[in-house]
Amino acid sequence: MAQAERPLSLPARTVDDPDPAVAGVLADAKARNGMIPNMYARMANLPGLLQAYMDGYQVFRSDSALSPAEQEAILLTISRTNGCTYCVAAHSAVADMTKVPAEITDAIRDGRPVPDERLNALVTFTAAFVESRGLPTAAQVDAFLAAGYSEQDILRVLLAVSIKTISNYSNHLFHTPVDRGFAHRTWQD
């Protein structure tokens, strides 16, 4: 399990927080999601961190030319590559809700090739992008483009890596417990 040796001691925050900035960003989170995930309650200790995450996440979801399955494949791959047990569980559950076939989600979770050639190219490129810290080789870029993706899609992967770095690293620091709604998809690195 990838977590900081010592978790941060900052508390989970709520919409009833006496700090108006914390209460406000959590009220926004609840309005967007219908709930306040454990991850958000901890990230709210720095309201700008949670706001940046939510805004980037919303842009990735709404401004993307990628299908829901492609979006989840990217987010799940980044989280798995970073060893974020919380986000792997959360994105596996979201993938289930958006009807991503379990054989795709489970292959990503297990680090196996995805049984769809195009999605496998996306997963392979995304993992390489994270592992190389944003320095994919020319061959990796060429293989990604040959699978039918575009250079703009590389920037979409970059956006996803940016927002998942915020969430994955926050969860590492806090040892964030998986929400009950995601617990059926718990994952261990």
3-17 pLDDT per residue, tens: 889 999 999 999 999
49-99 pLDDT per residue, tens: 999 999 999 999 998 799 999 999 999 999 999 999 999 999 999 999 999
pLDDT at 63: 84
Of 148, 19, 81, the residue nearest 10 (C-alpha): 19
pLDDT at 189: 79
For the record, the structure tokens of 122 come out as: 């996306």
List of domains in the chain = 9-63 (no CATH), 66-185 (1.20.1290.10)
Give dist(CA 184, CA 147) in Å, integer. 33
**pLDDT, mean of residues 165-175:** 98
pLDDT at 1: 52
Rounded to two decimals, what is the model's pTM?
0.96
Give dist(CA 78, CA 84) in Å, integer. 9
> Do 15 and 26 meet the contact criterion of CB atoms below 8 Å apart?
yes
Give dist(CA 188, CA 67) in Å, integer. 27
Q: How far is CA 105 from CA 92, 113, 144, 153, 168, in A?
A: 6, 11, 20, 20, 18
pLDDT at 166: 98
Q: How far is CA 163 from CA 16, 35, 58, in A?
A: 26, 19, 10
The one-letter amino acid at 150: S
pLDDT at 4: 83
Q: How far is CA 44 from CA 13, 39, 95, 166, in A?
A: 6, 9, 25, 12
110-168 pLDDT per residue, tens: 999 999 999 999 999 999 999 999 999 999 999 999 999 999 999 999 999 999 999 99
> Do 20 and 43 meet the contact criterion of CB atoms below 8 Å apart?
no
